[in-house]
Amino acid sequence: MRRFNAMKVFVRPILLFAAAAPLMGRDLPRESRQFLEKHCLECHDTDTRKGGLDLTSLKFDPANSANFSRWVLVHDRVSNGEMPPKKKARPQTGELEAFT
């Protein structure tokens, strides 16, 4: 017969949330902000909004599932080489590594 393990069921999720809480609602790391400013905001700012994406108003809130999903898409497009577009200057390897 299996014993009820309160640590797994109750305590662990609370500890994980407590550890992640300081990260929630924070700004993007400096390197990520610099990457966006250099490679993304020309096309994805409040005025231009290419593809309907305004990165200047997109907060970094991983606790919000919709916000988190949007940032995952941004990350995936950059890491897959889809963004910045081929006709734009490509980020240097170090910049890509810092962002992704």
Domain boundaries, the chain: 23-99
The letter for the amino acid at 39 is: H
Cα–Cα distance, 41 to 70 (Å, whole number): 16
Torsion sign (Cα): 59, 62, 67, 69: positive
Cis geometry, peptide bond prior to residue 84 (ω within 30 degrees of 0): yes
Give the HSE-up count for residue 53: Cα atoms under 13 Å, Cβ half-sphere: 16
Question: Is the predicted pLDDT of residue 77 greater than 60, yes or no?
Answer: yes
Residue 89: count of CB within 10 angstroms of its CB: 8
- The two three-digit tokens of residue 87, written as one number: 């006709």
Q: What's the 3-state SS for 26-52?
A: CCCCHHHHHHHHHHCCCCCCCCCCHHH
Asked if residue 10 has pLDDT above 60, the reply is no
pLDDT, tens digit, 9 for 90 and up, residues 18-64: 444 444 345 788 889 999 999 999 999 999 999 999 999 999 998 99
Q: For the full predicted model, state whether its pTM sits above 0.85.
A: no
